[in-house]
Amino acid sequence: MRTLELNFEESIEVCKALANKHRMAILRLLSERPHNVNELSERLGLPFSTTAVNVKKLEDVDLITTELLPGRGTQKINTKKYDQIIIDIAPQETKEIEETIIYDMPIGHFSDSSIEPSCGLVGESDYINGHDDPRAFYEVGRDEAQLIFFKTGYLEYRFPNRLPRGEKADQIKFSAEVCSEAPLFKLDWPSDITVWINGHEIATWTSPSDFGGERGFLTPKWWMTNHTQYGLLKNWRVNKDGCYLDDKLVNSNCTIDSLKIAENPYISFKIGVKEDAVNVGGINLFGHKFGNYRQGIVMRLLTEHK
């Protein structure tokens, strides 16, 4: 989850920008995926000019970004920068200081795997080490993967544990772009995708679709549109209250203390589809150069001290 932290003075302009129902609606739409102004105008039922003015105000306070992408001509694509905004109004001398350790793991840098076909790794310009062969997941070229898919099993990523010695983790967050995996693509294709952290099962999310037919904003041109194109950005976090999927508490039995982060040399993040899941619909995992979000698997480890 991407967080914007503001001091008292910085918050004033951002609050002004957010004090408008159209701009709040734009941010909600951009939470689904990036849009251009035409798409936002159509979905909101607003004139193009009105939508463009509101997009500009959100750009001015750095809540969204706009980049030029080739398409039918050159398109301006708007992307939301943050998932939450924190306004700090506590006195400086008494407030708790929160430090964040951030690590963006390329999806090809998994440490362990156990997967079943159909499966494959896709690079920026071609498949890597063949198709539907689990042995490809142990080849050196896997590091270059920008899209990984498989039917059942898991991938495990071991993140560096950079928690300072003597300090305690307050919260850990992971985000990744994922969806189901069907032959070619299928919009009605549910899949139960599960995440584990340090061996503890955190949450299972039912992906509704294997999204295709419309090219992902980062998906390379050689990859045909009748294949998987993009996923949804999902967020998992664990704090003292329990485990959250996006902003919903889903498990209060496992807390940040259960993960014993300070006691381990690395932090394990595992994602996959169980063989006995209700919806065995596979998984697609997107990297920095595929899909709609320019990231791999992002970990944010928060520590808190006075």
> pLDDT 10s per residue in the chain (306 long)?
465 666 666 788 889 889 999 999 999 899 888 899 999 999 999 999 999 999 989 988 888 988 776 655 557 788 888 777 777 665 544 444 457 899 999 999 999 999 999 999 999 999 998 889 999 999 989 999 999 999 999 999 999 999 998 899 999 999 999 999 999 999 999 999 999 999 999 999 999 999 999 999 999 999 999 999 999 999 999 999 999 999 899 999 999 999 999 999 999 999 999 999 999 999 999 999 999 999 999 999 998 654
> In the numeric block, which tokens belong to residue 240?
């003292």
CA atoms within 13 A on the CB side of 204: 15
Distance CA 185, CA 190 (A): 12
Taking a C-beta distance cutoff of 8 angstroms, is the pair 146, 122 a contact?
yes
CA atoms within 13 A on the CB side of 192: 10
pLDDT of 31 reads 84
CA distances from 40 to 32, 35, 53, 67, 75 (A): 12, 6, 12, 15, 13
Q: In Å, what is the CA distance from 300 to each residue of 175, 237, 248, 255?
A: 9, 9, 18, 16
Q: Tell me, what's the pLDDT at 93?
A: 47
Model pLDDT, residue 5:
63
Q: What is the pLDDT of residue 129?
A: 87
pLDDT of residue 11: 81
**Phi, psi at residue 139, to the nearest 5°?**
-80, 155
- Give pLDDT, residue 299: 96
